Amino acid sequence: MYGSDYSYFDFYPQFKEAAGAVHQRQWDPENWADLFREAGAGYAVLVTKHHEGFLMWPSQIPNYRWPGYQSERDIVGELTEAVKARGMRMGVYHSSLLDWSLTDKPMTDPAGLVSEGGPIDEAYLRYQYSHWRELIDRYEPAILWNDIGFPPGANLYELFAYFYNKVPDGAVNDRWTQLPRGLHRLIRTPVGRALFNWAAKRVIANGTLGTLTPPHCDFLTPEFMAYPEIRQVKWESCRGMANGFGYNWMEKDEDYLKLPELIRLLVDIVSKNGNLLLNVGPMADGTIPEVQVNLLKGLGAWLREYGEAVYGTRPWRRAEGVTAQGMEVRFTQKGDSLYAFILGRPGEKNVLIKDVPLEGNIRVYEVKSGTPLDFRQEGADLVLNYPQGLLEESVQVVGIRSG
């Protein structure tokens, strides 16, 4: 489209101009924060630097190869202020191990992702480490969301301590794995590259990608997947609304999740001790595509009706169940309340959920309306008598409260 002699780095002056004062109305952080709040989000995480190395804030530690390779407008700061003003927490994503602005070597295989993705010398280590310190000092984020890994040689415990001293209730994700510098050098040899590619193929084939242990983390980050069972360690599923991250003009509306799918995805994740970090990909002018806006607003509307069964809940003794008709069920609990999500429309007034034994004085109700539901126990199974008018939702949510 742009010609073979057009470099990726020819784009960044265009980006800086579009984000500058003359065009600042095209990107409105207030509108973004309003949308995130309307979607029911508790926190937002902004990409401050992705693998290509461009900085989304006016850093005092500039790129040492490409002068001016950063935003003159404080995009990180403006969105942070808007998000925090609406009672949400703000996190910062930063790609630390990879920085394609500092390498000319192409990444053509798994080993290339590590060996050609950026330098591993002391200058690069100081560059990345200093950026994290700057982000913590300037914006006091609630979440440090690192990606891919971290350059060798850093004392990450020192960085984490610095963060927690600034933000005592902050959280750190799990993507901080450091490979020894000697291993990085080995991967840059023909033999080491071949061995790494062989091992990487086995890891991907066995589905064990992402099992390298970081020095410390507060939560795990599976990508475009959810764990099939309850995890004791908190986790967060990150994914796009369609097939990838960012905005892809070739994706059509049919490529995106539909609202019932998104609701069921959220319910499944929450029932297993997870959070959902849903990617929002703006277009070039800083506006969010209508299909994404509609999904976010639809999810927010659902959460305003059923958030009692989502916010502040914890997993029950099991996450999954099933009805007599074979419909899937998910469970959460909060205080003396158990919540059951029936993933679909039962189509019958009597709905039997298998293996939900209840004892004592129990009240069962439909969460959206608060309407009491007649129920009975058949052995260990719970039978609900649904009024016919309550069967139109794509997910039925029932509250079961003792006392």
* Contacts for 71 with CB less than 8 Å, ≥ 6 apart: 15, 16, 19, 54, 55, 56, 57, 58
DSSP label at residue 220:
B
310 within 8 A of 299, measured Cβ to Cβ: no
Q: How confident is the model at residue 393 (pLDDT cuts 50, 70, 90)?
A: confident
Q: How confident is the model at residue 25 (pLDDT cuts 50, 70, 90)?
A: low
On average, the pLDDT of the chain sits at: 92
> What's the pLDDT score for residue 48?
98
Indicate if the pLDDT at residue 401 is higher than 80. Answer: yes
CA 53 to CA 194: how far, in whole Å? 27
> What's the pLDDT score for residue 212?
62
Indicate if the pLDDT at residue 274 is higher than 60. Answer: yes
Q: How confident is the model at residue 1 (pLDDT cuts 50, 70, 90)?
A: confident
CA 74 to CA 59: how far, in whole Å? 9
Indicate if the pLDDT at residue 224 is higher than 60. Answer: yes
Indicate if the pLDDT at residue 389 is higher than 90. Answer: no
Which residue from 355, 311, 373, 313 is spatially nearest to 337, judged by alpha carbons? 313
Q: What is the mean pLDDT of residues 16-43?
A: 85
Q: What is the mean pLDDT of residues 121-139?
A: 96
Sign of CA dihedral 352, 356, 359, 365: negative
Using a pLDDT cut of 90, give the percent of the chain over it. 76
pLDDT in tens, 37-92: 999 999 999 999 999 999 999 999 999 999 999 999 999 999 999 999 999 999 99
Could you please report the per-residue DSSP string of 50-73? -TT--BSS--SS--SSSTT-B-SS
Q: What is the mean pLDDT of residues 197-203?
A: 83
Neighbours of 206 (CB within 10 A): 9
Indicate if the pLDDT at residue 21 is higher than 60. Answer: no
- The values of phi and psi at residue 139, to 5°, are -115, -10
Q: What is the mean pLDDT of residues 178-190?
A: 90
99 within 8 A of 125, measured Cβ to Cβ: no
Amino acid at 111: A
Indicate if the pLDDT at residue 200 is higher than 90. Answer: no
Domains of the chain are 8-309 (3.20.20.80), 320-402 (2.60.40.1180)
* Contacts for 39 with CB less than 8 Å, ≥ 6 apart: 296, 297, 299, 300, 303
321 within 8 A of 329, measured Cβ to Cβ: yes
Q: How do 171-172 and 143-147 pair as beta strands?
A: parallel
Q: Is residue 383 helix, strand or coil? A: strand
Q: How confident is the model at residue 8 (pLDDT cuts 50, 70, 90)?
A: confident
Q: Which residues of 89-116 are buried (b: 16+ CB within 10 A; e: fewer)?
A: bbbbbbbbbbbbbbbeeebeebbbbbbb
Indicate if the pLDDT at residue 24 is higher than 60. Answer: no
Q: How many helices (H) and strands (E) does the chain have?
A: 10, 14
> What's the pLDDT score for residue 308?
97
Q: Is residue 113 helix, strand or coil? A: helix
CA 67 to CA 6: how far, in whole Å? 18
Query: What number of residues does the chain have?
Result: 403
396 within 8 A of 342, measured Cβ to Cβ: yes
Amino acid at 319: A
Q: How confident is the model at residue 403 (pLDDT cuts 50, 70, 90)?
A: low
